[in-house]
Amino acid sequence: MTVLLREAVGERLRRARTAQSRTLRDVSRAARVSLGYLSEVERGRKEASSELLSSICGALDLPLPELLVTVAGDLDGSGSVLAPAMVEQRTADFDGGRLVPSLMGADLSEADLSGADFADTEAAGIDAQLSSEDLTEEHRLQPVLSQRISPPLRSSGGVVVAA
């Protein structure tokens, strides 16, 4: 049987709420969502927008990325319905200006982080003068969810065409 994304998300939200011994009313007030709509989301009948999910996760003190990773594991079969609620955070270490391959994989660890390549990180707000000894707990690499959005396609008449 195929599990829909909205059903898996709803199941995880309900588990988080009941694990905290909270009522639908309590969470709906904290998330500023109607009780009926929250109930529909939890039962997998409604698909919540990203803004709504963010609000519900905030009310449950559940990081949205953690919810999404757990649900993804549920859907792809790598995780079971009883997948852990916490996502493991790993840190990457520098070894002579290179990332340690065991944490980043061989492809990413081959990127030279010294000299000109490392200077490019200054534009991203990272101090290019850091040595491997200067990197401490506060300089850990953190995962970032990102998606590039291509510019809208335009026809010769100036009308935006949905792709």
Q: pLDDT tens digits for 50-89?
A: 999 999 999 999 999 999 999 988 887 755 444 445 555 5
Q: Dump pLDDT digits (tens) for 29-52.
A: 999 999 999 999 999 999 999 999
Structural domain that includes position 51: 5-76
Q: Is residue 23 part of a domain?
A: yes
Same domain, 58 and 120: no
Indicate the number of domains in the chain: 2
Nearest alpha carbon to residue 58 among 20, 26, 30: 30
Residue 112 lies inside a defined structural domain of this protein: yes
